[in-house]
Amino acid sequence: MSPLLPLAGGVVLNAVAQIALRYGSTGNKEERAIPPRFWFIVWAMCFAVATLLWLIVLRHTAISYAYPLLGAGYILVTLLAKWLLREEIPPLRWASILVITVGVLMVGANQ
Amino acid sequence: MKATGEVVLAEGAALSAARPSSDGSMRPEALAVISVVLGAIGQLIVKAALLFWNDVSASAPAHHGLLLKALAGVFAGLLVYAGGTWFWVKAVARASISLLYPISACSYAVVAIGARSLFKENIEPLRWAGIAVITLGVAMLSVSNARGSK
């Protein structure tokens, strides 16, 4: 099995964990009805499963290949921050995200 | 001579920032460097433990004692990694993330160098270039943070 599937799963869960942590610690206008404890539980569970997936990936994959691909987390967190948290992303940050995307694709091209 | 007093104060602050002071406080950059090194070492320990795990589980009679040792190695690596995160949190508490992101961006190169020397991983030029580009991108985030809101 390609390591990219559990790797992507881990990156997604990690990103969800970050957003949940943000909801839990600051609250959100639409999410106010949901108690912070819920978001901390979501964070902890996503974090735990993501760590487990990372161990599964690392067991059969070169760390010089898998570790840089975790940089994809920056891309996903930025997108989620814009869509879910309504954060304003300055142009230069989009440029940084584009550079990271190119780097991740370069590393991901050859296992 | 208020100005002189201010200069002395500033110099004192610079001095105390330059080296660990009596309360053990360190420069945030130093804390960030420690966090990068610990984080990379933690990941490499986890990888080494998983390689050992693969070796042990491949051998015909299951050796539970050795598997337990491998598992302990994985946890030890995760613990060292968590220690790195702890130093990162301390660094971020003392300086803006924009100052520290370029330091944390180096972790990709540190892990790659460790993987090459410890596990003899073959890293092609394209992968090195990709790692350099990712590092550049993460370092660029610090500039956009410095200029962006918050």
Interface predicted TM-score (ipTM) of this complex, two decimals: 0.90
Range of the domain at A55: 4-109
> Is the per-residue pLDDT at B148 higher than 70?
no
CB atoms inside a 10 Å sphere around CB A37: 9
> Is the per-residue pLDDT at B149 higher than 70?
no
Note whether B147 contacts A55, CB cutoff 8 Å.
no
pLDDT tens string A77-105:
999 999 988 889 999 999 999 999 999 99
> Is the per-residue pLDDT at B126 higher than 90?
yes
B76 is written with which tokens? 């030890």
Mean per-residue pLDDT, A57-75: 96
Mean per-residue pLDDT, A34-49: 91
Note whether A68 contacts B136, CB cutoff 8 Å.
no
Cα distances (Å, whole numbers) of residue B62 to A32, B51, B56, B70:
52, 16, 8, 13
- Which segment of A29-33, B3-7, B44-48, B49-53 scores lowest on mean pLDDT? B3-7
For residue A77, the model assigns a pLDDT of: 92
Count how many domains chain A has: 1
Q: What are phi and psi of A62, to 5 degrees?
A: -60, 135
Mean per-residue pLDDT, B85-97: 89
pLDDT tens string B3-48:
444 444 444 444 444 454 444 578 999 999 999 999 999 999 999 9
Percentage of chain A exceeding pLDDT 90: 72
For residue B143, the model assigns a pLDDT of: 82
Cα(A82)–Cα(A90) distance, rounded to whole angstroms?
11
CB of B136 closer than 8 Å to CB of A103: yes
For residue B59, the model assigns a pLDDT of: 81
Mean pLDDT of chain B: 84
- Which long-range CB contacts under 8 A does B119-124 form with residues at least 24 apart? B119/A62, B119/A63, B119/B47, B119/B48, B119/B51, B121/A62, B121/A63, B121/A64, B121/A65, B122/A62, B123/A64, B124/A110
For residue A28, the model assigns a pLDDT of: 57
Residues in chain B within 8 Å Cβ distance of A106: 126-127, 129-130, 133
For residue B22, the model assigns a pLDDT of: 40
Residues in chain A within 8 Å Cβ distance of B133: 99-100, 102-103, 106
* Alpha-helical segments (H) within chain B: 2-18, 28-58, 64-94, 97-105, 107-119, 125-147
Cα(B132)–Cα(A67) distance, rounded to whole angstroms?
13
Residue A57's nearest CA partner among A76, A70, A45, A44 is A70
User: What's the pTM value of the predicted model, to 2 decimals?
Assistant: 0.84
**Residue with the two structure tokens 């002071």:** B21
